Amino acid sequence: MQRMTRQRAAILKSIKATNGPLSIDEILTSAEIISPEINRSTVYRNLKVLIKDGQIGIVELPGANVRYEIIKTAHHHYFLCDICNRLFTIPGCPKGLVDIVPSGFKLLGHSITLNGYCKDCSS
């Protein structure tokens, strides 16, 4: 593990403070409050280190920018707002997924992303 620089700490704190994965722009905006001298290349460079160290993970959704989140041990899914494009973590998992798998198939895993309007955008 590499040493925790001020910029790396700002990035990690920004990601930890949210209810869902963040895009590069969201991380940069949040981290600039803590460490005003931070820039986009510093964010990218430090994300690579944090991923390698196993502290954060990558969230890839079809048709959306890559986002980053703290590695969680609990299984979870996401809600993507169609207006503000923020991504929120949904804890838990719907029941009965095994029941809809076609006969003869073996389910190894799944990912679910709900979409619609978040609380802020739906008002």
Query: Which domain-ending residue is among 55, 70, 85?
Result: 70
* Per-residue tokens: 121: 């955008």
Distances (CA, A) of 25 to 63, 76, 95: 17, 23, 35
Per DSSP bridges, beta strands 56-59 and 67-70 are antiparallel
The per-residue pLDDT for 8 is 92
Say how far apart CA 78 and CA 88 lie, in whole Å.
Answer: 5
Sorting pLDDT into bands at 50, 70 and 90, what band is 64?
confident
User: Is 52 found in the same domain as 103?
Assistant: no
Q: Are 111 and 64 in contact (CB under 8 A)?
A: no
Question: Cα(28)–Cα(57) distance, rounded to whole angstroms?
Answer: 17
Contacting residues for 16 by C-beta, under 8 A, at least 6 apart: 70
Is the per-residue pLDDT at 1 higher than 70? Answer: no
Mean pLDDT (whole number) for 80-95 = 89
Q: Write the CATH number for 56.
A: 1.10.10.10
Task: Say if residue 115's pLDDT is above 90.
Answer: yes
Its pTM stands at 0.78
**Domain span holding position 80:** 76-116
**In a shared domain, residues 81 and 66:** no
Domain count within the chain: 2
User: Percent helix, strand and coil across the chain, each rounded to 5?
Assistant: 30, 20, 50
